[in-house]
Amino acid sequence: MAVIISKDEHGISYRGLSVAPDAFDKADKLDEYLMKQIPAIEKKLQRKGLLKKRGTRHGTVETWYEFGKLLSEIVDDETKVEPADKKYIWKAISLHASKYVNKKFRGSTRNHFVYCYRLSKFSKDFVMNFTWRIWSKILDSVSFREDLRGDIWLLRNVKKIKQIDNNDIRDELIPYINKVFSTRGRDFSRLSDAEYFSALDKALADFQG
């Protein structure tokens, strides 16, 4: 399969692993589907009072959690998006999202849609423990943005982390974990699960004294 990731005066750009004859037809159909579904998702959020298309603040942690849940219904549907093409779907979604949900592109590993999608895999009760500013700081950090085992660790340690003031989580805890855990050149993929979780556990314990 292929995915449309941009459309402009120069034409249409496709990305994907498949070169099958029907790959581009499927990509066009997916694009048409997203053209309808993404605005519909935004309208659902508006009806729930979660998305305000005015002012400068357009969402809370609940907004982006619910947005991620709705996106996951598309992204996880393998009849629509093949697993191998999932990394391209975020750009395809951005083509049809309004400025109220479409954040500035900051690189492939710091994607707002991916963050919303990741949040949606947690329970809502867990997600609501922290503000969106805190979640953004966590998911932006080099310690958590690429290795999804970090999500498991966060879930295991929510009670301990909740004991820390929100401002201290953002301004002190996450920078500290990045400093002692995400040392320069460290390849997380070489760590076993036990090593990965143990290193994060130690960083949190040392921070809390």
Q: Is the domain of 168 the same as that of 198? A: yes
pLDDT band at 134 (very low <50, low <70, confident <90, very high): very high
Q: Is the domain of 37 the same as that of 101? A: yes
Q: Is the domain of 119 the same as that of 203? A: no
Is 61 part of a structural domain of the chain?
A: yes
Tokens representing 50 are 């979660």
* Residue-range definition of the domain harbouring residue 111: 31-123
The per-residue pLDDT for range 142-174, each reduced to its tens digit, is 899 888 899 999 999 988 998 999 889 999 999
If we measure between CA atoms, which residue out of 42, 1, 59 comes closest to residue 25? Answer: 1
Answer left, alpha or beta for residue 16, where phi above 0 means left and psi between -120 and 50 means alpha: left
Q: Of 104, 123, 142, which one is at a domain's C-terminal end? A: 123
Whole-angstrom CA distances from 168 to 98, 161, 164, 205, 207 are: 33, 10, 7, 15, 11
Q: Is the domain of 170 the same as that of 103? A: no
pLDDT at 56 over 70: no
User: How far apart (Å, rounded) are the C-alpha atoms in residues 80 and 160?
Assistant: 39
pLDDT band at 52 (very low <50, low <70, confident <90, very high): confident
* Side-chain-facing half-sphere of 141: CA atoms under 13 Å: 25
Q: Is the domain of 196 the same as that of 141? A: yes
Is 194 part of a structural domain of the chain?
A: yes
Is 154 part of a structural domain of the chain?
A: yes
Is 92 part of a structural domain of the chain?
A: yes
Q: Is the domain of 183 the same as that of 116? A: no
Write down the residue that tokens 């598309």 correspond to: 74
